[in-house]
Amino acid sequence: EVEARTFAVVKGILESAAADTAAPRGSERQKVGDFFAVGMDEARIEREGSRPLKPFFVRIAAVRDRNALAAEIALLQVIGTSAAFRLEVGPDDRNSARNVLQFSQAGLGLPDRDYYLKRDAQSTTLRRAYVAHVERMFRLAGDAAPVAARNAQSVLRLETRLARASMTRDETDDPLATYHKMSQMSLSRRAAGFAWDEYFRALGL
């Protein structure tokens, strides 16, 4: 109930800001209003299609090694995606007076690992529908049908590997199982397969 009311209040603020043509240029109200208006402009969204995404596709296609991959993951996270894993800043669970950089598992298009690993008929049907959806997204982004089909299968294979390495929902609910505070140097040693220096450099940290 509290969440629903909060959403309603936020929606009211956004709609009011979008309708306010007298808001001073550069003000928070003007920027919030413009942001909301652009997001709700369905005619423009349909007209532009995937064109605004092209610079990101070009950048992703240029990735050729681990360093470039780490940097690209960082840049995608900066714009709000959960590429590969989730990055955020929040209170240290054992010292709420201090905010720390936090990583958690992500990168799955389906809700959690069980959707990829269960072998029952319903799960199998759901995965087929998911692959069809991902294939359609690739086609809408401009891929030819055979390429889109191959890419969708690649996505499923990659996400299934991520799912196998992911914690279960019960495990992620355990605050002890998800608390592993460490230095950047220790992180680089324990997860040496990822180019952490390039990643942090791309984040500007």
- To the nearest whole number, what is the mean pLDDT of the chain? 96
What confidence score (pLDDT) does residue 62 get? 97
DSSP annotation of 64:
-
* Residue 158 confidence (pLDDT): 96
User: Would you state the pLDDT for residue 131?
Assistant: 98
Residue range 160-180, pLDDT digits in tens: 999 999 999 999 999 999 999
Q: What are phi and psi of 100, to 5 degrees?
A: -135, 155
Query: What pTM, to 2 d.p., does this model score?
Result: 0.82
Contact, 15 vs 30, CB < 8 A? Answer: no
Q: At what angle do helices 66-78 and 54-61 cross, to 10 degrees?
A: 160
Which residue in this structure is represented by tokens 């605050």?
175
